[in-house]
């Protein structure tokens, strides 16, 4: 599973962690159960990457959909640092690492 977070929002560390957790949980709930079993057996790997803009995040989201990958888009509830509905991150997977890397392999770690 890969989580991609927007850096342009300048969220605090705790806020970024919470958003990444929301993304991971939502992707997990939506994922194919057979893929989840294999992913869990292999250690349930999660990698957190960053992008510099909403535009870049949306492009990755669109590519994941086009590749038929499990992907979720997270919007903030607006209770702390951000306005309600602000898109903060996405999660892709769980799925085969090679498939996700085709879309996110050029991104840097958070």
Q: What is the CATH number of domain 2-109?
A: 3.40.1490.10
What are the residue ranges spanned by the domains of the chain?
2-109
- Prediction pTM value: 0.95
pLDDT per position as a tens digit, 9-30? 999 999 999 999 999 999 999 9
Q: What is the mean pLDDT of residues 44-48?
A: 97
Give every strand in the sheet of 47-51, ordered side by side: 71-75, 87-92, 2-6, 47-51, 108-109
- Residue 42's pLDDT is 95
Q: What is the mean pLDDT of residues 69-97?
A: 96
- Residue 86's pLDDT is 98
């Amino acid at each position: 599973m890969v989580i991609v977070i927007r850096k342009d929002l300048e969220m605090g560390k705790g806020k970024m962690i919470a958003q990444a957790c929301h993304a991971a949980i939502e992707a997990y709930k939506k994922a194919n159960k057979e893929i989840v079993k294999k992913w869990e057996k292999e250690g349930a790997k999660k990698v957190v990457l960053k992008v510099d803009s909403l535009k870049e995040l949306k492009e990755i989201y669109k590519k994941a959909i086009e590749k038929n990958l499990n992907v979720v888009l997270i919007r903030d509830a607006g209770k702390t640092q951000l306005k309600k509905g602000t898109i903060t991150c996405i999660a892709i997977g769980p799925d085969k690492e090679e498939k996700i890397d085709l879309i996110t392999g050029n991104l840097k770690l958070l």
